[in-house]
Structure 1
Amino acid sequence: MSSNSSILRDSKCFAPFLSKKLTFVRGLDPLGLSNTSDATFSMLLPGLNNVTGRIRYYSFYCWLLGQYEALEIKKEQRFFIRKAEYLVALIAQTFEKDITGIPGSNYAFKRYGEETATFNLEEGVGSNSGTTDGTYWKYSWGAFGQYYLGSLRDIGLISEKSESIALYSDLRVSPQDLSTAFHQNLSEEDVQSFIECILKGSVSRK
């Protein structure tokens, strides 16, 4: 090693070098440039953010939580929501026109391409394996928990019933209005089939 120069390798200096390492870490915002747009977004649309742009999901989740509350026998709510999201992603594959912005659509596309008459929702959400790796969505509470939960809670559409079991339900009258508006676009037969598939844990290709 030469005493007249520094040796820099893999962002590590092996000789006196009066500077910090050169490693670039993505996602950092040292100048606060990204915070400006985020703060402006929050000021104009309190409770919303730039990853919850699908406004229809606000009514969908209010409707889904209402359907869960109406069940006589309630299983773990987390998997109820995950199976509902995965089921929506599978249903989206039946349309000829590409539909974007559906959580889990990449996973559902692969599964729908397989020659199978029945799709196992339990397997798709990882309720039996105990892990979400390799499922439609890695985050434990699905897209609901990762993206929409905070926004729905911040604008007062849902609240936590119990922190110990992390149940969420409608809080104000406005979510009921959203739920009703969403429900009006569905037939009772479709609603019954949708919920039955979630509870059964599977859905046929037909």
Structure 2
Amino acid sequence: MPQWTERADKRGLDPLGMQNSGVVLYQSLLPGISNVTLRMRYYGYYCWVSETYARRGATSDFEAWRTWVRRAEALYALVSARAGETGVGGVDWANRRLAAEERVIDFAAAASTDASQERYLRQSLGVFGGAYYTQMAELGLFTENRHGIQVATRDLGRRAAGLFADAIGPDLAKLLRLKIADARVSIRDLNRLEPIAPSQIQLESEERSFYEALLFAREPSPAQGAASRAATLTLILETARAIEEQPGPEDVRWHLFNPPQAPLLEPLETQRLNWEAYHCQDLMQVASAALLAWAITIINADGQGQTLSDIRAEVVAHLTGHDEDAFAGSWRDLRLSLDPGTFPYQAMWDDLTSARGAPADKAVPAITLMAALHQRLRTRPDLADAAARGLPGRDPARSLRTELDWLESRETDGVVDRIADYVIVRVVRRHSWVAMQKLRRQRDYTFLFELRDGRLFFLAGYQPVATTPRLAPAIQFLEDIHLLDEDGLTTLGLDALETSR
């Protein structure tokens, strides 16, 4: 690594700069939930933490606020670990402390920002600052006061705090407040505090009803994305009903990928199309990444490095020698030969994202997938419109749209020549450009190969990966508020689905 870089080697993070287009799209489809907001009840707990801090005679001292938040999080981790909960920040630290079998756990040092201590988390403002605050602000639960301290909002935030307090009762709320202030807790008190844990939202409680109304945009909210989030959550419930079990993220992806046999109402169909466009984008970036992985193996085949001409010649030789009649014609011929309605997208996806198999063997599946996606958008104006709304279509951004536009610009060229050019221009050169931008702007060294004396030399391999579109935490939130369980839709979930349709 060059001596001027001060940050860690981070090879493999979006090496073609294509994942970001999908990330921006899925963020708009599930605002208020992120990949690191793992449990619903944190939203009410943090509002209560804020209100309790204010009522204790809070000052404008940010350090005092940070100490309060960190102690509240450390205690929540201890309670959750004792109760066997998951998805809670600091639970690994908490399990270690519980394993020590201390009668009274003093967590003041662990909740401090002193780097010499074994802290429950290193982040300055814990998971509140690192994960939850921005999403709670999106939902209208939190804002920032003039002193730069995050506070629960006067309407929704304070209401959430009150409902959390009502749910656990005044005696437990008092105990919780005292234990945060003392930063000491006994095992007996941890057992008493179990009702504050993430899975303890009660079925018939106003707290649960509030979370449902908040997520499904039935509460007044200043957030523009509220309707989008509600539509996505409704589609998750729709998926659960269709497959008759609790869906995983992959189930939701593929269920929303194809138009339903029974038409959805207009707002839901529009959102389903947005998810289909996102998934097409992710399929495209995985296919392009598979070609990058192949190019890297070509570079690595010769210890003396490879020129761009060498790489192109190897691509041409490999594809020319492949027993695939469709590759003998033009790119247009290839895409027209594919039926986008019956194409095995999921099998291709599984193959390209699997670590099994040689990159060279995945080149043809990747190219065929790209052609199928091209034909899918050409024959589906509704999908093309959704992609146009949600994905960038101009450089320097790269997306499904930019790549298909490039392929279509000379689609009467032979498949072999068009893909050989694609590998050089849109993959090899693109990676070099993306890696250089990251080095200049972030001082991150992400090069997978480097140029020396006109030849490219191998540095690291690459395995194509999918993006993670917030679906796992969204499903967990729906389980936390009793709309889903291991069997799929609950009675409350069915009611919520019917209300939202």
**Which TM-score tier does this pair reach, normalised by the shorter chain?**
0.7 to 0.9
Partner-residue secondary structure (3-state), 1:28: coil
1:145 is matched with which residue? 129
1:93 is matched with which residue? 81
Aligned counterpart in structure 2 of residue 201 of structure 1, from 158, 183, 190: 183
Normalising to structure 2: TM-score of the pair? 0.33
Matched, 1:49 2:31: no
Give the number of equivalent residue pairs: 180
Higher strand share: 1
1:185 is matched with which residue? 167
Matched, 1:122 2:108: yes
**Superposition deviation, residue 47 in structure 1:** 4.1
Matched, 1:169 2:151: yes
**Partner amino acid, structure 1, of 2:105:** F
Normalising to structure 1: TM-score of the pair? 0.77
Matched, 1:68 2:60: no
1:155-205 per-residue CA deviation (whole Å, 9 max, x = no partner) reads 332222135xx3111224111222222222202111111110111121122
- Contact 1:86–1:124 (CA<8 Å) still a contact in 2? yes
CA distance in 1, matches of 2:117, 2:174: 30
**Partner amino acid, structure 2, of 1:25:** K
CA distance in 1, matches of 2:145, 2:91: 30
CA distance in 1, matches of 2:99, 2:27: 40
1:5 is matched with which residue? none
CA RMSD of aligned residues (A): 2.5
Q: Which moved more, 1:115-124 or 1:27-36?
A: 27-36
1:88-114 per-residue CA deviation (whole Å, 9 max, x = no partner) reads 11112332xx31101100000000111
CA distance in 1, matches of 2:123, 2:12: 19
- Contact 2:109–2:118 (CA<8 Å) still a contact in 1? no
- Contact 1:132–1:140 (CA<8 Å) still a contact in 2? no
- Contact 2:109–2:117 (CA<8 Å) still a contact in 1? no
CA distance in 2, matches of 1:153, 1:71: 23
**Superposition deviation, residue 133 in structure 1:** 5.5
**Partner amino acid, structure 1, of 2:72:** A
**Partner amino acid, structure 1, of 2:70:** R
Give the number of the structure whose alpha-carbon radius of gyration is greater.
2
Matched, 1:80 2:64: no
**Partner amino acid, structure 1, of 2:100:** E
1:127-160 per-residue CA deviation (whole Å, 9 max, x = no partner) reads 5xx3375210000101101111222223332222
CA distance in 2, matches of 1:60, 1:116: 26
**Superposition deviation, residue 60 in structure 1:** 1.4
* Unaligned segments of structure 1, at least 5 residues: 1-10, 13-23
1:156 is matched with which residue? 140
Higher helix share: 2
**Partner amino acid, structure 1, of 2:69:** I
Distance 1:88 1:132, change over 3 A: farther
Q: Which moved more, 1:60-69 or 1:100-109?
A: 60-69
* Unaligned segments of structure 2, at least 5 residues: 3-8, 189-501
- In percent, how many aligned pairs have the same letter? 28
- Contact 1:82–1:141 (CA<8 Å) still a contact in 2? yes
